[in-house]
Amino acid sequence: MNRIVDAIPYARFLGVEVERTDGGLECVLPFRQELVGNAALPAVHGGVLGAFLELTALLRLLDESGSGPVPKPITFSIDYLRSAGPSATRARAEIFKLGRRIANVRVVAWQDDRNRPVVAGNGKFLLS
């Protein structure tokens, strides 16, 4: 899976890492000063978090399918729940419905406590 991440330029720029856990696939966005949007807090930029969520959903779908065309996002909505401070952000995606042509995916990201998410997203992806 890290080979796929290395092939995606914005994933390389963000420094996203993929870990296999007993619960499946978990993505990690290491904190870097360049990713800060509000230096007064400091807080990770919302666009960075949105890209991270969409990438996590995409990687989960690729992991599920094993091969085939890369899923294309149809819609992706994001709920910003609290500021993402200066520490690593972790995310996990769950496929709610996997049809022949469309998949629905939910992603939740957190920092220090999985029970206190910083951002969540829902996406629909075209599979073929």
Q: What is the pLDDT of residue 8?
A: 87
Q: CA 102: distance to chain centroid?
A: 18
Dihedrals phi, psi of 127, to nearest 5 degrees: -90, -25
Q: How many CA atoms lie within 13 A of 65 on its CB side?
A: 21
Please, what are the domains in the chain? 2-126 (3.10.129.10)
Q: 21 pLDDT band (50/70/90 cuts)?
A: confident
User: How many distinct helices (H) and strands (E) make up the chain?
Assistant: 3, 8
Q: 1 pLDDT band (50/70/90 cuts)?
A: confident
Average pLDDT over residues 108-123: 98
Q: Is the pLDDT of residue 3 over 90?
A: no
Task: Sort strands 117-126 and 72-80 into parallel, antiparallel or unpaired.
Answer: antiparallel
Residue 70 makes CB contacts below 8 A (sequence gap 6+) with 58, 62
The pTM (predicted TM-score) of the whole model is: 0.93
Q: What is the pLDDT of residue 6?
A: 86
The string of pLDDT tens digits covering residues 61-101 is 999 887 678 899 999 999 999 999 999 999 999 999 999 99
